[in-house]
Amino acid sequence: MRNLNPLLGQTIAPPVMEARRWLEGVTFSADRPLMNLSQAAPVDPPPEGLRRAMAEALLEQDESHLYGPVLGLEALRAELAAKWSADYGGAVDAGQVAITAGCNQAFCAVMATLAQAGDAVILPTPWYFNHKMWLDMTGIETQVLATGEDLIPDPEAAEALIDARTRAIVLITPNNPGGVEYPAPVMAAFRDLARRRGIALIVDETYRDFHSVTGPPHDLLSDPDWDETVITLYSFSKSFRLTGHRVGAIIASEARLREAEKFLDCVAICPAQVGQIGALWGVRNLTEWLAGERLEILDRRAAMEAAFQRLPDWHLQGCGAYFAYVRHPFAQASDAVARRLVREAGVLALPGTMFGPAREAGGSGQAETTLRLAFANADAAGLGQLAARLSDLTS
């Protein structure tokens, strides 16, 4: 193609869309329907009360059809600030919250304030592919932080990567794709490292509402000077099933959000009003409902762990939030195994090669033997079937 930005041309295609193409020409029987474990997105609609609040806004609030504030509705920003302050035992002001068109946009906006082409950002492997894609298409180098068997990044290994070009470290907890929850001391160590070296610590907490601990998962925001170093990202997509309405958030210093406002004004002008109204209603009314959703996800996590106890040749590296990250027992690379799963087991999963560098690109090769299974839309009975389907595969 002529006149194509080479950085965009060299960026990988969207992995979930690629995986869906593997289904073309494949038929699934009624007794073994497709088990789609490829995408971490709830398929059920939001609770009825939330939907009614959105519908009433469309019918009765004329302003819901207009442009809103670039950084989001003031009421939603204030509610989220109060909730984060209470949940983390810290002080977050409404001016330190921005609402975005989803968490991916939150990441892109924050990165626009931090780095330019030629700079570098540290990503642990396995990484979230959209983070890597954005860095690639904007000319920002990814400094690869390999993780061990437990998938927990090491602050000392991260420090060894930092050079004059490094602008930030990105952590996701609970992790996508690994499912692991980073311990609070690890998070604090990364905060201290980022502060000492004068770079930002970006914490993507899209799946925070499904963490296995009942208290604060970390103490980063209890530090009175947290906003000098820490930037957190959030999504309402998973908590209130608002995936199609694209509502996310940035929690950062007011000064940084003023810079992010420039980016957001250019790419969307403002987040959609109706989605924000739904999110606001959810924050105010769905605390108990969301607690029940969390318990359901934890039950499915337990079912996934039980399933892999029946598969001794497979290794469950990480399991939590919406994800299981597993090592398969086959000699083939994970992308070939993922295609086999569709044809031979009726299972759609994503290969580890979509979440990290292959060996020939400087990776450890770990990605070539791993798969991500997104289990949020599979009930416990279905996960029991998964073990049977995987056990039927031969080398």
CATH number at residue 260: 3.40.640.10
Per-residue model confidence (pLDDT) at position 362: 47
Q: Is the pLDDT of residue 394 over 80?
A: no
User: Mean pLDDT across the stretch 296-305?
Assistant: 92
Q: Is the pLDDT of residue 359 over 90?
A: no
User: Mean pLDDT across the stretch 291-300?
Assistant: 93
- Looking at the domain assignment, is residue 203 inside a domain? yes
Per-residue model confidence (pLDDT) at position 262: 98
Q: Which domain holds residue 356?
A: 6-44+298-391
Select from 258, 287, 316 the last residue of a domain.
Answer: 287
Indicate the range of 308-322, 323-337, 357-371 predicted with least confidence: 357-371
pLDDT tens per residue across span 197-229: 999 999 999 999 999 998 899 999 999 999 999
pTM (2 decimals)? 0.93
- 350 & 371 share domain: yes
The better pLDDT of the pair 385, 247 is held by: 247
- 184 & 135 share domain: yes
- Looking at the domain assignment, is residue 52 inside a domain? no
Q: Which of 295, 40, 303 is nearest to 179 (CA)?
A: 40
pLDDT tens per residue across span 81-109: 999 999 999 999 999 999 999 999 999 99
- 77 & 163 share domain: yes
Q: Which of 78, 214, 212, 216 is nearest to 203 (CA)?
A: 216
DSSP state for residue 64 in the 8-state scheme: G
**What CATH code is carried by the domain that includes residue 381?**
3.90.1150.10
Per-residue model confidence (pLDDT) at position 379: 81
- 71 & 27 share domain: no
- 184 & 317 share domain: no
- Looking at the domain assignment, is residue 54 inside a domain? no
Q: What is the number of structural domains in the chain?
A: 2
User: Mean pLDDT across the stretch 238-266?
Assistant: 96
- 102 in the Ramachandran plot: left (φ > 0), alpha (ψ -120 to 50) or beta? left
Place of tokens 């592919």: 129
The chain-wide mean pLDDT, for the chain, equals 92
Cα atoms found within 13 Å of the Cα of residue 141, Cβ hemisphere only: 13
Q: Is the pLDDT of residue 256 over 90?
A: yes
- Looking at the domain assignment, is residue 56 inside a domain? no
55: which residues sit within 8 A by CB, 6+ positions away? none
Q: Is the pLDDT of residue 276 over 60?
A: yes
